[in-house]
Amino acid sequence: MAQGHGWEGAVLRLLRARDYVLEVTRAEDVTPHYRRLHLTDGGMLAETGVHPTMWVRLWIPSAGKPHQRAYTLVDADPSTGTFSLEFALHEGAASDWARAARPGDTIEATVHGTGFEHPDPTPSRLFAIGDPASLPAVNSLLAALPDTPATIWFEGSAAGLPLRTHPSRHEVRATDDLVTDVKRDLPDLLAAHPDAYVWITCDTRTTRTLSSYVRKDLGLAKERVHAMGYWRA
Give yes or no for a contact between 17 and 49, defined as CB atoms under 8 angstroms apart.
no
- Domain carrying residue 106: 2-111
Give yes or no for a contact between 1 and 42, defined as CB atoms under 8 angstroms apart.
no
Same domain, 106 and 174: no
Same domain, 95 and 187: no
On whether residue 30 sits in a domain, the answer given is yes
Helix (H) or strand (E) segment spanning residue 62: strand 55-62
Considering its fold, how many domains does the chain have in total?
A: 2
On whether residue 120 sits in a domain, the answer given is no
Same domain, 84 and 149: no
Listed residues 64, 81, 111: the one ending a domain: 111
Same domain, 104 and 9: yes
Domain of residue 95, CATH code:
2.40.30.10
Same domain, 102 and 8: yes
On whether residue 65 sits in a domain, the answer given is yes
Same domain, 71 and 164: no
Same domain, 194 and 143: yes
Same domain, 104 and 136: no
Same domain, 220 and 130: yes
Q: What is the pLDDT along the chain (233 residues), one digit of tens a residue?
A: 444 565 455 544 544 568 999 999 999 999 999 999 999 999 999 999 999 999 999 999 888 888 999 999 999 999 999 999 999 999 999 999 999 999 999 999 999 877 888 898 899 999 999 999 999 999 999 999 999 999 999 999 999 999 999 999 999 999 999 999 999 999 999 999 999 999 999 999 999 999 999 999 999 999 999 999 988 77
On whether residue 119 sits in a domain, the answer given is no
Laid out side by side, the sheet with 170-175 consists of: 170-175, 150-155, 126-130, 197-200, 225-227
On whether residue 233 sits in a domain, the answer given is no
For 80-109, how does the pLDDT look when each residue is reduced to its tens digit (9 = 90+)?
999 999 999 999 999 999 999 999 999 999
Give yes or no for a contact between 72 and 83, defined as CB atoms under 8 angstroms apart.
no
How many Å apart are CA 86 and CA 77, to the nearest integer? Answer: 16
What is the pTM for the complete model shown? 0.90
Listed residues 111, 134, 149: the one ending a domain: 111
